[in-house]
Structure 1
Amino acid sequence: MKGEDHIVTNDRPRPMEVLREARAQLAELTGMTAESVSSFAQTEDGWSLEVEVLELERVPDTMSLMATYQVELDPDGQLTGYRRVRRYERGRADAHRAGGR
């Protein structure tokens, strides 16, 4: 029975696999490397993530331009859509988001 349970749980990718695949797919489409994932949730249609991306490197690094991308994936972890939802300087806190308070 344990083997059957293991097979059932493998129908959907594991969350860490989804995160890695989402970062790789977004990087391939945008040409930019994902630095971190700031939000991750399973939805009825698959997965929803917010990914932080370095858009423009500046000196000093605190002035580099970052962006948050909303990324949608199907249940198998394949990217179905993305959009930039925010741009900001790396060194600035965002007062409009819970993490920026």
Structure 2
Amino acid sequence: MTDDKNGGTAGATTGRRCDVATAMRRASDQLADLLQCEPGSVSAVKGTGEGWSADVEVVELERVPDTMSVMATYHVELDAEGALVAYERVRRYARGQIDRR
């Protein structure tokens, strides 16, 4: 496990709910370690009754040009202290793709 910027360990149990910035960092870091993929960004994070849920964008396949790289969105669940408890890939797309709504 890696140290966070607040001097704690990402998986340490403190008995306290972490803040949103720490939850975002831990979601990205833990998923990247698990998948061995480069994290792109955290596109959503929200508190739940049990902890946090977040959507993390990762680079799954690096391509040249980079607009052809394959990205994925993973939905992750964290406990109140920021430890990853579940994840699921919900979308794959080319980096240059724009959602149309």
Task: Tell me the TM-score normalised to structure 1 length.
Answer: 0.81
* Residue correspondences, number: 87
Distance, in Å, in 1 between the alignment partners of 2:24 and 2:39 is 11
In structure 1, the partner of 2:30 is 25
Q: Which residue of 1 aligns with 2:47?
A: 42
Q: Which residue of 2 aligns with 1:15?
A: 20
Computing the radius of gyration from Cα coordinates, the structure with the larger value is 1
More helix by share: 1
Question: Deviating runs (4+, > 3 A) in structure 1?
Answer: none
Q: CA offsets per residue over residues 2-30 of structure 1, 9 Å max, x none?
A: xxxxxxxx932111111111111111110
Partner of 1:55: 60
Gaps of 5+ in 2: 1-14
RMSD: 1.4
Higher relative CO (CA 8 A, sep ≥ 6), structure 1 or 2?
2
Q: Residue type of the partner of 2:96? A: G
Q: Percent of aligned positions with the same letter in both sequences?
A: 54
Using the size of structure 2 for normalisation, the TM-score is 0.81
